[in-house]
Chains A and B, each alone.
Chain A
């Protein structure tokens, strides 16, 4: 069964460092998402991406964050200068249908710890 894969599974970084989280969405999906979950809190939407551009983003997704689809398979989330409060589990998701109507397939997550 096709799945969304994420790397790394866990990354520890120093505050102020740049971090890149990588995702390989399901191959025939067109809509890509990043969500995050701070420990003990809800899953929060960060950004959605379609047709090589951001289609929607939340207030969390400020100038420190960027997304890219550098090739036909990878979808990356970059945090330029990490803060302590960026520590969270980051989930990539993809969907074959947009508009929040389709089932989102989530990866297993990348845990980011900022020290």
Chain B
């Protein structure tokens, strides 16, 4: 039962270009979405979040877009840097829930 899906297991991007990571969800009760970054041998690190009352949230090089009607969100990283190479997890939660549902992750490789 995969309520949060990241259909691209990997993505390679040239340094300086835009990285776009996609995430789809099935549960219409989800109303809060987060992106986490994970390096090998480390725990996930919070990147950016968005509430369902918004369709865009920006933090420096990172922007998250939410399309509620399509149940789709994306993370844009621009410009991409080699240090951005990591696994990116999309996560979602619903009102009253006390846990996050994670996607399977997308491994981003930024090529210098």
Residues in B neighbouring A107, C-beta threshold 8 A: 43
- The interface bits of chain A over 90-115 (1 if a CB of B lies within 8 angstroms of the residue's CB, else 0) are 01010000111101111111000000
A84 within 8 A of partner (CB): no
**A104-B98 in contact (CB<8A):** no
For window 72-103 of B, CB contacts with A under 8 Å fall at 89, 91, 93-103
Q: Are B42 and A100 in contact (CB under 8 A)?
A: no
Residues 56-82 of B, flagged 1 when their CB comes within 8 A of A and 0 if not, give 000000000000000000000000000
How far, in whole Å, are A54 and B42 apart by their CA atoms in the complex? 26
Residues B99 and A109 in contact, CB atoms below 8 Å apart: no
Q: Which of B32, B49, B101, B105 contacts A45 (CB 8 A)?
A: B101
Q: Please give the distance in Å from B59's CB to the nearest CB on chain A.
A: 12
Number of interface residues of B (CB under 8 A): 27
Interface residues of A (CB under 8 A from B): 4, 31, 33, 35, 41-45, 48, 50, 55-56, 58, 91, 93, 98-101, 103-109
Given contacts A99-B96, A99-B98, is CB(A42)–CB(B104) below 8 Å? yes
Given A31-B98, A42-B103, A48-B98, do A101 and B32 touch, yes or no (CB 8 Å)?
yes
- With contacts A43-B89, A99-B93, A101-B32 taken as known, whether A106 is within 8 angstroms of B101 at the C-beta atoms is no
Known contacts A99-B95, A100-B32; is-contact A105 B102 (Cβ 8 Å): no
A104 partner residues in chain B, CB cutoff 8 A? 44, 46, 100
Q: Which residue of B lies closest to A59 (CB)?
A: B1
Contact at B45–A56, with CB atoms within 8 Å? no
Report A91 CB to chain B, min CB distance, Å: 5
Question: Which residue of the partner chain, among A42, A58, A91, contacts B99 with CB atoms under 8 Å?
Answer: A58
6 intermolecular pairs with C-beta atoms under 8 Å apart: A4-B43, A45-B99, A56-B98, A99-B93, A100-B97, A103-B49
Within the complex, the shortest CB–CB distance from B101 to chain A, in Å, comes to: 7
Minimum CB distance partner of A46 in chain B: B99
